[in-house]
């Protein structure tokens, strides 16, 4: 009987619990044993009680819970081979031969490394007599499948990462609250949202709330952005707008990669434009809370597909992750998506913003 483990890794995202629930239940449905690895890769490195067998009722009610109930962590040990060697030994000790990992690009890169290294980890464990030759033969093939869990929607080759629509909804709700008070006092608000390399949350929040100006890393504003922004906002005010909302992604910068901070923006609005201006940093409220209906549905469907992909995988197959393309759940090669995701960050670092925008998609153009 196959034993399939599920874990969450990297930053938590609403919908991760839905994914874990779906993986556990689909695994049981397929007549396999289900396990949960607690605290991300740390649980794999520690082994023992950190890897728990799961039954149907263990995930009851998880769809509506925020965060990740099996914990997540940033694990330095797993970045090095000795940590991955311990992880391999712990998995064999528990009899686990399939793994579903829900995390961001770092977690999924780690998963691919682990899968590639697996045969040599096994040889090392066998030559140091930590596993038997029979175990080495029995576990020679490890199936790993990724699910993309991240609020940032920063992963290539999928329309939406698990959690991004819940987070966007939370941001819009917060901006609506701020709108009401801004309107009352005719104030300006500079709102900082999450997104270090990816401006999707800022961009979509701007579109969804009718913000006056948005700063995102992939498509920085023109060289003379101070005058550009002030002209637009002055215009909006001249047209009778009583409030001003500027959304700044955490990783926003100008075309020379100098950070555009909320304070810098505020100084312009309150200085030259003489607007009564406040800054609101939304922070971790963007991560917490219940998953929206879309994330519940997608995490469930993707979790089911992840188990199918683990069961279908053949020796020599490339690692896959489960993606959403035009509302269809599909399997995609993991490494290409990781490479494209990293190419966006590199394009930004190299100030090749046209490339960054074209890799992200048309919605980042304007
Ligand atoms: P987020 O998008 O929220 O930042 P992430 O999955 O990208 O999520 P990371 O901190 O990059 O978050 O990665 C999570 C964990 O995955 C790391 O702490 C580490 O244990 C493992 N990991 C990341 N990159 C690698 C790698 N190249 N090799 C091995 N393990 C890795």
**Which residues lie below 8 Å from residue 319, measured CB to CB, with a gap of 6+?**
111, 112, 115, 144, 145, 146, 333, 334, 335
Query: Residues 152, 154, 157, 295: which is the catalytic one?
Result: 152
Q: Say how far apart CA 43 and CA 35 lie, in whole Å.
A: 12
Q: Which atom of ligand 1 is nearest to the CA of 103?
A: 6
The question of whether 152 is a catalytic residue gets the answer: yes
* pLDDT for the residue numbered 288: 76
Tokens of 356: 């960054």
Q: How confident is the model at residue 366 (pLDDT cuts 50, 70, 90)?
A: confident
pLDDT band at 193 (very low <50, low <70, confident <90, very high): very high
The complex's ipTM works out to 0.94
Mean of pLDDT values over 193-199: 93
Strand order in the sheet with 33-37: 51-54, 33-37, 3-8, 98-103, 143-148, 320-325, 328-333
pLDDT of 317: 85
Mean pLDDT of the chain: 96
Binding residue positions for Mg(2+): 105
Please compute the mean of the pLDDT values over residues 261-284 and round it to a whole number. Answer: 96
- What is the band of 164 on the pLDDT scale with cuts at 50, 70, 90? very high
Say if CB 64 and CB 35 are below 8 A apart.
Answer: no
Half-sphere exposure of 187 (CA within 13 A, CB side): 16
Give the pLDDT mean for 259-264: 97
The pair phi, psi for residue 101, each rounded to 5°, is: -115, 125
Distance 294 CA to ligand 1 centre (A): 25
Using CB distances shorter than 6 Å, the residues near ligand 1 are: 9-11, 41, 74-75, 78-79, 103-107, 109-110, 113, 150
Q: Does the pLDDT at position 144 exceed 80?
A: yes
CA of 179 to the centre of ligand 1 (A): 36
Q: Where does the pLDDT of residue 99 fall: very low under 50, low under 70, confident under 90, or very high at 90 and above?
A: very high
Point out the ligand 1 atom lying closest to the alpha carbon of residue 77: 20
Q: Is the pLDDT of residue 12 over 90?
A: yes
pLDDT in tens, 167-176: 999 999 999 9
Query: What local confidence, expressed as pLDDT, does residue 158 receive?
Result: 96
CA of 242 to the centre of ligand 1 (A): 44
Rounded Cα distance, 206 and 124, in Å: 53
pLDDT of residue 316: 80
* CA of 114, closest atom in ligand 1: 29
């Amino acid at each position: 009987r196959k034993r399939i483990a599920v874990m969450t890794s990297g930053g938590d995202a609403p919908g991760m619990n839905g994914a874990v629930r779906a993986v556990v239940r689909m695994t049981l449905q397929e007549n396999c044993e289900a396990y949960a690895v607690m605290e991300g890769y740390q649980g794999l490195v520690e082994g023992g009680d950190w890897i728990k067998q799961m039954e149907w009722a263990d995930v009851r009610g998880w769809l509506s819970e925020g965060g990740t109930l099996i914990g997540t962590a940033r694990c330095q040990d797993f970045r090095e081979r000795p940590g991955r060697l311990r992880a391999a030994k712990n998995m064999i000790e528990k009899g686990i031969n399939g793994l579903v990992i829900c995390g961001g690009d770092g977690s999924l890169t780690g998963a691919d490394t682990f899968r590639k290294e697996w045969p040599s980890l096994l040889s090392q464990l066998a030559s140091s007599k930590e596993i038997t030759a029979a175990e080495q033969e029995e576990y020679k093939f490890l199936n790993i499948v990724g699910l993309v869990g991240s609020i940032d929607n920063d992963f290539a080759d999928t329309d939406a990462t698990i959690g991004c629509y819940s987070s966007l909804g939370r941001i819009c709700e917060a901006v609506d609250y701020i709108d009401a008070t801004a309107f009352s006092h005719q104030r300006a608000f500079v709102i900082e949202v999450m997104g270090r390399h990816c401006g999707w949350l800022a961009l979509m929040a701007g579109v969804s709330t009718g913000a006056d100006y948005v700063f995102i890393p992939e498509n920085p504003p023109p060289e003379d952005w101070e005058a550009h922004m002030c002209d637009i906002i002055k215009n909006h005010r001249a047209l009778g707008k009583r409030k001003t909302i500027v959304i700044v992604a955490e990783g926003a910068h100008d075309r020379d990669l100098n950070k555009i901070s909320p304070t810098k923006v505020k100084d312009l609005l309150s200085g030259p434009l003489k607007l009564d201006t406040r800054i609101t940093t939304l922070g971790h409220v963007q991560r917490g809370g219940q998953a929206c209906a879309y994330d519940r549905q997608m995490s469930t469907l993707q979790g089911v597909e992840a188990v199918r992909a683990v069961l279908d995988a053949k020796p020599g197959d490339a690692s896959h992750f489960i993606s959403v393309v035009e509302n269809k759940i599909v399997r995609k090669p993991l490494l290409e998506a990781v490479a494209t995701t990293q190419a966006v960050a590199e394009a930004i670092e190299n100030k090749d913003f046209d490339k960054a925008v074209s890799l992200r998609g048309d919605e980042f153009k304007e």
